[in-house]
Structure 1
Amino acid sequence: MKYLLYMLLALFVGAAIAVIIVTGGSQCPRKIYLRDENGNIITPQSTAPYSPRQTCGLSDCHDYEKIVKGYHFTQGWGEKVKKEDKVIYPWLLSYGNYGGRWCPTAPNFHWVSPLKISSPLQSDLTSFTFAVNCGVCHPGGNTMEHDRQGHRYDVYLKKHPELAKDPTNGDYYQSKWDKTGVIEADCLLCHLKGYNFKIRWSQIKNLNFKWASTAASHLGEVIGTVKNGQKPIVRYNPRLFDEKNMVSLTITKKVDDRICIECHKFSDWKKRGVTWNAQHDVHLKNDIHCVDCHTAGMLALDSRIKGKERHQFAKGDDPGIWVRNDLDNTLSCKTCHNRGLKRIYMWGHKLILGKCFEKLDCTVCHIPKHYTQAALIQDSTVFNKDAKIPQAKRIWTYYGQEAGYYNYYFDLLSFLPDQPPHFWSPELCVYKDKIYPINKTHSIWIGIKEPDKKGIMQISMHRLLVMWQKHFEEGKYKTLDLIKDDNGDGHPEVNTAQEREAIIKAVKAFLADEKIDLGKKQIVLVVDNLLYIDSNHYKILPKTSYENSPYASAFKLTHDVAPKEKALGYETCEECHSPHSKFFYRPVLVRLWDENGNALWEPQYKTLGYTKEQVEHLTHLKISTFKEYLHTLFNAWNSFWRGE
């Protein structure tokens, strides 16, 4: 009898462990009460939205304050900005989206205004308009909940309504925090199956901040919008509640890939050309999920991020992403593969690759090509009239990997998984003494320069849009008519001395009409690392080898990873070491349009720092029969070890 009890107990424990492994700890261990922001228990008759802080952040549940310290919540706020970076980027408040450089690939883009605005040229997004524009993907909490002095926005504005009329206040000017409420950290955004991002987007755009999670989580229907001057109410779904007014939700501990991709797909498509398609990525094909590699909490391997409920996700080291650089390389290929994940070991590469393994990152061979366009050029000087582009973003014109125009926003809206792919081989760059595939973006934009100061200030995209709109509607700023399409691609570009003078004059005239005194400041045009002070004279801005300008981002390519059979060099070493290899001879865009609208290209070996003599030697190497034999032997052994 005793042994039977032991067996039953073992079966019960084993079944429980299996459920946890399969579902990732799929549900909260008990039913819970939903609570509103005042801590009151919500019933089917309640009309107030539920509060994640009061519901999930109770003392006996989750440590809310620890969770919102994760960089997805802070968006860089709270990081100390280096003085030298503040000099180069005068608007810089942090290294993330909240006060960082920019969200797309280059200027001109929104930035967060300082807390105390001393000049109209500093003014762009307030914390309130940041929430409206960026709150859809921002999970809430931190900068969405408290101002830069630590006050809760809605409570503080009710006490000080005059702040909404103060144009020098970067947190409260023209805000409605007292009516919208705040956006608390939305736990269900990541951890509830069936969460609806479209509903969240709609609620936030309608200024229903504190109602967004309730609606998107299908807890109830939200009626009314703050944007239309109404006070929204909630009609809860009574079927969710039991007789004690408790609810049981399908809460998942392991975050589904769909949740991550929902926010990352748009920006990573533009910055890196990532498809998030199992057809193109060996990890997705083998059922490896985002959080299997990007671990956090107690599953994290690196001591810098490991800890109960710590929401600092493992990350790599990207030259274009600066948020929490102190956590760089908490994830790399070696993190998983040196541990033998799915019995795939990296150490065997050294048998074949030798010195290549010391100089090349894994992604050089395992991301030999991408399948959708990424933005190689961002032009922020002209107005784009093309279809499907949001009005607020018509100041951007994107060009793809062959420097040909493409409508990113049209593609975004019409993209189908089975549409014909657009193949391109990534540019290779030296970053921190190793070669990586990188999208090294080019940029052309209008800035403001103070004499004797290194940095260049952006002009807000809103102001540039208004300038162009007044030109089209009222015939103002006629010099803009001088900007023509010189290369016949259907879109004008600022590439001649006359056109450079035209855009600079127009911006000066517009700012004068806006009663903005420039003082000694100059309107300048920045073309990659050339700073045009006037139409003909320029200064060269210092830059690194892996970027085209200190004001344009460079993005590593780390997804859409090819299996070994499609990796560069799998068939033969001559895929790189030959006179026709893309590794050395891929054409690389090195300078934007000349006077005729033509772009300048060079073979990749030059941008990698090789001389013609060096590359001729490297591309005429004769691979020994013995080495080829070792290559074949190793692949056979590796296939046997994997059970193929």
Structure 2
Amino acid sequence: MMRRTVAIVFFAMLTVVAVGTGTAAERAEARSDGDARYLHHIDLYDTDNRKITAESTLPYSPRNTCGRCHDYNTISHGWHFNAFDSTAISGRDGEPWIWTDARTGTQLPLTYRDWSHSFHPSQAGLSPWQMTLKFGGRLPGGGPGENGSVGDIETGQEEQVAEIDPPRWQLSGSLEVDCLACHAVSGAYDMNERRSQIEKQNFAWAPTAALRLGEIKGDVSRIRGKIDPADESVQKKMPTVTYDARKFALDGSVFVDLVRQPLSNACYQCHSQRTVDEQGVQQRWIHDEDVHLRAGMDCVDCHRNGLDHDMVRGFEGQQHSNPDAMVTLSCAGCHLGQEGSSDPALLAGRLGSPKPLHEGLPPIHFEKLACTACHSGPMIDEQAQRLMTSLAHSLGEKGRRKGDELPAMVSGVYTKRADDKVYPHKAMWPAYWGVLNGDDSITPLNPDQVYDWTRKTLRVRRDFIDELMLPKLKSDQRKEVLGEERARVDSEEWNQQEQDLIGKRQQEIGQQNFREKVSASLKAIEKEIGDRTAVYVSTGQVYAVDSEGTDSEGTGLREIESSNERDTGMITWPMAHNVRPAGRSLGVGGCVECHSDDGLIFASTVSPVGPVNRIANDSDGKVTMASLQGVDPLQRLAWNQMFSGRKTFKYFIAGSIAILVCVLMIGLGMLSVHLFHKAELKNNPLASSDSSTPSQEARR
């Protein structure tokens, strides 16, 4: 009994240390410092900070539960939780949040970070509430997901980042940093159930649902009318939890099966990607895994972090809270190390990595190319490949994907970054409705508002492309194209020529539909925004109402010549995975794999993709990687000619050397015979006298 009392007192003291009013620096950091996995048989605490029992009805709170032993405030400022925090270090450009609405042909790139592309959500009038509801299913919580604010949660001094909807937040609760989204063992955490609760606006209930701790009944999104949490009628509609009594031990604790080092399966929830070809989404059995994963490594072997969760992203020049510890966690740092260093922490060979020889590769390649240019991403093709990602296309969720769903993006775009090195990139072209400003910049409009304003003019129920751009032909239109007999045949039986004719006719009608309906929609928007010019942007083109009467087709739509690449042009972010082995790297086939007229790192092309490009000619806007890299065509031609004849030149040189050697050997042989004969004459004068006799006799 005494031991139990002492234990209770000790736990109470520990709790005071963990959740007291002191600063994060004063709190004790719970750690075992052992290699063995620490088993978490712990008490759960709800959103009111009360211990949860099998009879409780409120959801469990990661902040109140995990925060008893771990510094929640420090963790909440980590890389994955500060995506909405404009004050955090942004680092190298990454994949933006892409607000996609197939009904309005929208794919709007958004970011709170100070990246060189994308729009700040507030520019489009998007509140933290809308951003959390839209993208919270792909976030482990934190940021404005916690009542629309970021800042020092510990002291309560929170910085409001945008206008929010306070009543709705009071019902949904906070989307707290959910530690188990990453640290639960594979199979113990249901990310799809978490997303389902967020869609229902049950933010505070999402962690409980994901761990399958109990059954949740209720749906905040269904609560309409006056929103007053104190109102009894509202309280009756609020979600409740019925906990699974089997989860609780006799002492009321719950076993939470977690690991210190997150498993790769958790990373895949947000970091999967699939390439798309003519057959659609490439299946998994076609793909090879990242070479590091095939070697038995996990994502976090390279992408490490401490308690502050400042993730090592693995690129050179990253600003990090522990810069010395991350040196050998980049490509060059791990495989090459710091030359001449005597510090064991800076030497190559970490985790058994081999040191590449790069035999015969001139050093200039390391000045001009990033490691990823040759080793990362899908095998380079004649044109940039369509791509789907978890963040943009909800990979990992059940459903059928054709591969052409918005947002449209591509991979394998080889262009330079600020360090003047060539990297492989992912790319997309923004498509959105906005307002044209006097300085040629464009301010995007709130996509939800645009849908409301254009619903009667666009008349698209589900898909902008299928219904507006490539509409199904009516029976009389099919007869006009194919004739009455062939028009009755099932479309799967049409030959290629017939399919091409139908496709061409669809594009013609789609072009007309687009110009007429977009023009009408822009006029509807201008009625709402006052004396300003509304525009629609897609694949680098800017469309506006033809008030000047320059539209030869009479549809009331014109294209604006714009030099504003920042708001309309291609946006890119570097890609690093999957890493290919040396045997499948670019250039393994020799110099001419790049230095030839069809060398793909220069000759491969990329075309704008988006809601409108499906009606454009395939060659429209097509550019080569060489032009993106700023390579001089004449210089490249000279290099190609030099390398294309390099093998023949080598044979010529080798043959010339062989002939020269033969000539030299013959010459040396003749010289040696002459010298030998001369030496003989010198040593035997009589031989010279005798040798002249036949000549004299002949003359006689």
Q: TM-score, normalised by structure 1?
A: 0.65
Asked whether the equivalents of residues 375 and 441 of structure 1 are also in contact (C-alpha less than 8 Å), the reply is no
Change (3 A) 1:187 1:598: same
C-alpha distance in 2 between matches for 1:141 and 1:554: 27
C-alpha distance in 2 between matches for 1:215 and 1:503: 44
C-alpha distance in 2 between matches for 1:310 and 1:285: 29
Instruction: Name the amino acid aligned to 2:601.
Output: F
- Structure 1 residue aligned with 2:246: 239
1:472 Cα deviation after fit: 6.0
3-state secondary structure, aligned to 2:435: strand
- Structure 2 residue aligned with 1:613: 634
- Structure 1 residue aligned with 2:308: 310
Counterpart check, 1:456 vs 2:456: no
Cα displacement string for residues 556-610 of structure 1 (whole angstroms, at most 9, x for unaligned residues): 2211211011112223222222333222322343796998675243443333323
C-alpha distance in 2 between matches for 1:441 and 1:238: 49
1:413 Cα deviation after fit: 2.8
- Structure 2 residue aligned with 1:128: 129
Instruction: Name the amino acid aligned to 1:516.
Output: E
Counterpart check, 1:358 vs 2:367: yes
Gaps of 5+ in 1: 1-16, 83-94, 114-120, 157-168, 298-308, 377-399, 402-406, 418-423, 476-480, 544-548, 627-644
Counterpart check, 1:599 vs 2:640: no
Change (3 A) 1:343 1:148: closer
- Structure 2 residue aligned with 1:223: 217
Change (3 A) 1:542 1:228: closer
1:209 Cα deviation after fit: 1.7
Counterpart check, 1:556 vs 2:574: yes
- Structure 1 residue aligned with 2:494: none
1:542 Cα deviation after fit: 4.8
Change (3 A) 1:123 1:461: closer
Asked whether the equivalents of residues 381 and 604 of structure 2 are also in contact (C-alpha less than 8 Å), the reply is no
Asked whether the equivalents of residues 274 and 559 of structure 1 are also in contact (C-alpha less than 8 Å), the reply is no
Counterpart check, 1:144 vs 2:145: yes
C-alpha distance in 2 between matches for 1:542 and 1:110: 14
- Structure 2 residue aligned with 1:335: 333
Gaps of 5+ in 2: 1-30, 113-121, 224-236, 337-347, 388-392, 404-409, 462-466, 472-499, 547-557, 652-700
1:364 Cα deviation after fit: 1.6
Asked whether the equivalents of residues 318 and 555 of structure 1 are also in contact (C-alpha less than 8 Å), the reply is no
Among 530, 534, 539, the alignment partner of 1:518 is 530
- Structure 2 residue aligned with 1:7: none
1:46 Cα deviation after fit: 1.8
Structure 1 residues 341-350 or 568-577, which shifts more?
341-350
Asked whether the equivalents of residues 411 and 426 of structure 2 are also in contact (C-alpha less than 8 Å), the reply is no
1:503 Cα deviation after fit: 5.7
Structure 1 residues 310-319 or 124-133, which shifts more?
310-319
C-alpha distance in 2 between matches for 1:295 and 1:511: 48
Cα displacement string for residues 68-108 of structure 1 (whole angstroms, at most 9, x for unaligned residues): 011321213242899xxxxxxxxxxxx999xx874579964
- Structure 2 residue aligned with 1:431: 417
Asked whether the equivalents of residues 532 and 538 of structure 1 are also in contact (C-alpha less than 8 Å), the reply is no
Cα displacement string for residues 444-497 of structure 1 (whole angstroms, at most 9, x for unaligned residues): 54321122x35311123334434554236599xxxxx9977899478759998x
Counterpart check, 1:250 vs 2:244: no
Instruction: Name the amino acid aligned to 2:529.
Output: D
Change (3 A) 1:606 1:597: closer
C-alpha distance in 1 between matches for 2:382 and 2:250: 54
Asked whether the equivalents of residues 529 and 550 of structure 1 are also in contact (C-alpha less than 8 Å), the reply is yes
C-alpha distance in 2 between matches for 1:292 and 1:203: 32
* 1:19-418 pair list within 5 angstroms: 21=35, 26-28=37-39, 31-58=41-68, 61-79=69-87, 102=98, 108-109=107-108, 124-148=125-149, 170-172=163-165, 175-193=167-185, 194-229=188-223, 230-265=237-272, 279-297=288-306, 309-316=307-314, 332-338=330-336, 339-346=348-355, 348-349=357-358, 352-367=361-376, 369-370=378-379, 400=386, 413-414=399-400
C-alpha distance in 2 between matches for 1:227 and 1:374: 44
1:203 Cα deviation after fit: 1.5
Instruction: Name the amino acid aligned to 2:189.
Output: Y
Residue identity over aligned pairs, in percent, reads 25
C-alpha distance in 2 between matches for 1:411 and 1:222: 20
Equivalent pairs counted in the alignment come to 502
Asked whether the equivalents of residues 315 and 327 of structure 1 are also in contact (C-alpha less than 8 Å), the reply is no
Q: TM-score, normalised by structure 2?
A: 0.60
Counterpart check, 1:541 vs 2:541: no
Cα displacement string for residues 227-247 of structure 1 (whole angstroms, at most 9, x for unaligned residues): 344222222222222222122
3-state secondary structure, aligned to 1:27: coil
Cα displacement string for residues 372-401 of structure 1 (whole angstroms, at most 9, x for unaligned residues): 99997xxxxxxxxxxxxxxxxxxxxxxx38
3-state secondary structure, aligned to 1:437: strand
Asked whether the equivalents of residues 35 and 41 of structure 1 are also in contact (C-alpha less than 8 Å), the reply is yes
Instruction: Name the amino acid aligned to 1:510.
Output: A
Among 509, 518, 521, the alignment partner of 2:523 is 509
1:415 Cα deviation after fit: 6.2
